[in-house]
Amino acid sequence: MTPPMSEVERSLAAAVERQRDAGLDLLRDLVNCDSGTFNKDETDRAGAMLAAVIGRLGFATERIPQERYGDHVVARRAARGDRRLLFVGHFDTVFPRGTVATRPFSITGDRATGPGVYDMKSGLVVLVTALTALREISAPVWDDVSMTVIFNSDEEVLSPTSRPIIEAAARRADTVCILEPARPGGEYTFVRKGAAIYTLAVSGRAAHSGGQPELGRSAIEELAQKIVRLHQITNYQTGTTVNVGIVRGGERANVVADHAECDFDLRVLTPAEAEAAQRRIRDIAAMQFVPDTTSVLSGEMAFPPLPPRATNELLFSWVREEGQKLGLDLRSVVSGGGSDGNTTGQFAPTIDGMGARGDGAHSDREFIHVSSIVERAQVLSLFLNTWPSRADELNGR
């Protein structure tokens, strides 16, 4: 049986519904920004849109200048209470410049497509829609709880410049909402794998591959031996995976390669697995198969694992209760993907995957269910509406 909603909750759900068209307009404008991580001009344009929208809700906005990436946007709204909520979402995508020209934002039925529509520009619209509704009905949380919103531009490369900003805000927050998209089945998440990106560079000695191959020391051969062993770290039972995704090296087929390197990704479910995998990676980098070659390993665990935590489970139980009022049976799932929730979850109770439902992240198959923008914004707004009366429970977990 669907639990009844109060008059305030019905007003809130209706206020979200009234924002549908405005939300779709914002989504169209954001998706039609070619805001790939390294397209600074377009990411700055997307950031300016978000700063303007959140500023109209009464937030004081600050742009944190960046040289390589788009400027991060931090918005703050003080309130009369001493509790603090933090919201985080990124506006960069993985797509190269020109992608919008080939497949701009489009809606067919209940499906919206376009670069970044699922990961995660629709999540930003969910947040703006929910906050607008709370403001419109003067919900107590709007006046009683201080709010900080961080829109960052480098999450797709593991947030190297925004991580300190996010960490500092999370240390002061009582709860963090991450607007990453729902998992493909519509699930929320509060358990995420940690993520690291490494580069392994090998130096050897060049030589003519026909005339004097014995004088050469192949960096490619050395790297190939190590790549095989890196992949052997993968253990699906423990949730640890290594993927060498990029390999570079050599000059010509008839020259023994004097340089080769690879970029690889590590995903781990627990801190213990992270330590063990990183130790094995260092051991492999130190091995030598081709004499007189040298190897240099660089990289870090940018997103630490976010293991199960009682506070996060409690937060999700509240989300589920609010969903039930809307007739929704909400679920959670362990995610293999990392997010800024991995960072915030080290310091504050965190609920992730609060964005729209869809699938196909990082591909040309990316889409969202248009109706899920209102649905997820209603869940978020109802959750925030009841959060102040429950927040003290988090202290005992």
User: Are 157 and 199 in the same domain?
Assistant: no
What is the arithmetic mean of pLDDT over 335-352?
96
Show the domain range for 263: 194-303
The CATH code of the domain that includes 52 is 3.40.630.10
Residue 391 makes CB contacts below 8 A (sequence gap 6+) with 83, 174, 175
User: Are 187 and 206 in the same domain?
Assistant: no
Q: Is the pLDDT of residue 1 over 80?
A: no
The confidence score (pLDDT) of residue 396 equals: 65
First to last CA, the chain: 29
Is 52 contained in some domain?
yes
CA dihedral 56, 57, 61, 67 (to 10 degrees): -70
Q: In the sheet that 72-77 helps form, which strands lie side by side, from edge to edge?
A: 60-64, 72-77, 145-152, 83-90, 175-178, 350-351
Q: How confident is the model at residue 3 (pLDDT cuts 50, 70, 90)?
A: confident
Q: How confident is the model at residue 294 (pLDDT cuts 50, 70, 90)?
A: very high
Burial 36-72 (b: 16+ CB within 10 A, else e): bbbbbebbbbbbbbbbebbeebebebeebebeebbbb
pLDDT per position as a tens digit, 21-60: 999 999 999 999 999 999 999 999 999 999 999 999 999 9
Q: Is the pLDDT of residue 111 over 80?
A: yes
**Number of structural domains the chain divides into:** 2
Q: Is the pLDDT of residue 397 over 60?
A: no
Q: Which of 240, 275, 303 is the last residue of a domain?
A: 303
User: Are 314 and 178 in the same domain?
Assistant: yes
Residue 172 makes CB contacts below 8 A (sequence gap 6+) with 84, 86
User: Are 123 and 21 in the same domain?
Assistant: yes
User: Are 223 and 299 in the same domain?
Assistant: yes
pLDDT per position as a tens digit, 152-194: 999 999 999 999 999 999 999 999 999 999 998 999 999 999 9
Is 1 contained in some domain?
no
User: Are 153 and 207 in the same domain?
Assistant: no
pLDDT per position as a tens digit, 131-152: 999 999 999 999 999 999 999 9
Q: Which of 268, 303, 338 is the last residue of a domain?
A: 303
pLDDT per position as a tens digit, 263-289: 999 999 999 999 999 999 999 999 999
pLDDT per position as a tens digit, 192-224: 999 999 999 999 999 999 999 999 999 999 999
The CATH code of the domain that includes 244 is 3.30.70.360
Average pLDDT of the chain to the nearest whole number = 97
User: Are 370 and 255 in the same domain?
Assistant: no
Q: How confident is the model at residue 2 (pLDDT cuts 50, 70, 90)?
A: confident
